[in-house]
Amino acid sequence: MIETIRNAWKVPELKKKMLFTIMALLIFRLGSAIPVPYIDSASLETYLSTQSGTILGLMNAMSGSAFSMATVFALSIQPYINSSIIIQLLTVAIPALERLAKEGGEEGRKKLASITRYTTVAIALLQGFGYYTLIKSYGLVNGGTLPAFWVGVVIVLSFTAGSAFLMWLGEQITEFGIGNGISIILFAGIVSRFPRMVSDTITGVTVWNNLNSGAVTEDVLVDAGLTAEQAAEQIKAMQAQALAPWLIPLIIIGMLALVIFIVFISNAERRLPVQYAKRVVGRKMYGGQSTHIPMKVNMSGVMPIIFAQSIASLPATIGAFAGWTVESEGFGGSLMRLFDTSKLFYSVLYFLLIVGFSYFYATMQFNPIEVANNLKKNGGFIPGFRPGKPTADFITKVLSKITMFGALYLSVVAIAPIVTGNIVSYHSLAIGGTSVIIVVGVALETVKQMEAQMLMRHYKGFLE
């Protein structure tokens, strides 16, 4: 990977693209540090640190902690991702959009892209208003003598404008930079959290040492001026934050093994052999060669995890907006306890949603009937199967098998950090699997694009 980047830097055109991408990411990180006015970001960050198991924690991780600091880019590109998912779903459900995607050509793709942009702005407005409502309900909005309506308009529009700008920036990276712009921005947001993760780990070890050495106890906190209840709550919060030193090597080894596993599965594919019959066209003979149809084991990428986590965390997110906690009485408290990430019900629901969306995205991206018809039209066949329906049935069977394996892979990677975090009582690992899949996937895809562009520029034609 490093060698590929070094070689790409020597190509003038690729060097310009890399510099453009770096400048765009610098703008992204700069905007992630500019706070939206009238918000107490310090108190908000403290509150969101307790929401790691909800969709708020996911959005904070994907935005590079900009969400918890209520900056201009707090919503990051989540509205665009949600918009893309919605449009993909509607393309299957609405015939007019399906015709636009399949038969519209370049003009149809432009119209779908335009619809996606408008949907992104609408979703950003809704999310911005919801985020403002959450902040306001906890008394973290301070507009001074300004009217509350004006303060709300400024905050919501700031969040919406930041999300729309990131959408535009991602499109510019795709056109003038290296890789897919939206993925690159998502990658940068996750990677920017690594220093904070290291800091949290050091803090966790320090807290563990203080608790086990007796330097911090309930009696010590009571002597410091806290009540018995406050001291008990403080000790409970510190125990949730504590991390035993001997767990650090195990976590590092586990993360490295996870990266290797993700790289292996990302490159894994099932190759279906295809034989083309010989045919004479004019005075020339065509066909007769053997090739294969590559079918990726995980052709849906990380999208099933993102969508599944958004749905599974929706009740907890609604509870966060409503002010419910696991200690609350009545329906709200019961709902929060049921969808708590440390409970079995959440993990099972999360697993089933990932499997379901993996099959959904696989069928959207790979149509066995269409592949079988194309093979039949071009005189190709899979050895042992007749062209047409038998070939389509065989491809469907293979697709079902590898999709199940890919879904199990995604489920294990997504749920393993949650289970591990509950076992060691260190919940900062809750979204580690999703983050690692995104980071590794984007890195592999970007390097492949760089290699492809270098190969194209160093290719020698038949005249040479």
**What is the reported pLDDT for 97?**
82
Q: CA torsion 156→430→353→63, rounded to 10°?
A: 30
Classify residue 124: in a domain, yes or no.
Answer: yes
In what helix (H) or strand (E) does residue 271 lie, and over which residues does it extend? Answer: strand 269-276
- Residue 234 belongs to some domain of the structure: yes
Q: Does residue 464 lie in a domain region?
A: no
Do residues 309 and 425 both lie within one domain? yes
Q: SS3 string of 292-323?
A: EEEEECCCCCCHHHHHHHHHHCHHHHHHHHHC
Residue 54 contacts residue 67 (beta carbons within 8 Å):
no
**Domain check: are 164 and 307 in the same one?**
no
Q: Which of 70, 63, 203, 197 is nearest to 141 (CA)?
A: 70
Q: Tell me how far apart the alpha carbons of residues 205 and 209 are, in angstroms, rounded to a whole number.
A: 6
What's at 102, amino acid-wise? Answer: K
Clarify whether residues 363 and 234 are in a common domain. no
> Do 233 and 267 have their domain in common?
no
Judging by beta carbons within 10 Å of its beta carbon (0-12, 13-18, 19+), is residue 32 exposed, middle or buried? Answer: buried
Q: Is the pLDDT of residue 391 over 60?
A: yes
- Digit-coded pLDDT (tens) for 334-386: 877 777 766 778 888 888 888 988 888 888 778 888 888 888 887 788 888 88
pLDDT for 461: 45
Confidence of residue 53 (pLDDT cuts 50, 70, 90): low
* 16 and 106, same domain (yes or no): yes
Q: Is 441 contained in some domain?
A: no
Check whether residue 236 and residue 112 sit in a common domain: no
pLDDT single digits (tens) 99-158: 887 776 778 888 888 999 999 999 999 888 888 888 888 788 887 778 888 999 999 999
Residue 257 lies in a domain: yes
Rounded to whole angstroms, the Cα distance separating 404 from 411 reads 10
401 in the same domain as 256: yes
State the CATH number of the domain containing residue 322. Answer: 1.10.3370.10
| Domain annotation covers residue 172 | yes
* Of 423 and 441, more confident: 441
Domain of residue 228 covers: 206-245
| Domain match, 85 and 104 both | yes
Q: In this predicted model, what pLDDT tens digit does every residue of 156-207 receive, in sequence order?
A: 999 999 999 999 999 999 889 888 888 888 888 888 878 877 887 888 888 8
Q: Are residues 183 and 254 in the same domain?
A: no
Q: Which residue has the higher pLDDT, 285 or 373?
A: 373
Burial class (CB in 10 A: 0-12, 13-18, 19+), 223: exposed
**Within-domain flag for 123:** yes
> Do 258 and 341 reside in the same domain of the chain?
yes
Give the whole-angstrom CA distance, residue 447 versus residue 1. 7
In a domain, 460, yes or no: no
Q: How many domains does the chain have?
A: 3
Amino acid letter for position 198: V
Asked if 258 and 156 sit in the same domain, the reply is no
Q: Name the band, by pLDDT with cuts 50, 70 and 90, for residue 463.
A: very low
Q: 160 and 56, same structural domain?
A: yes
pLDDT at 430 over 60: no
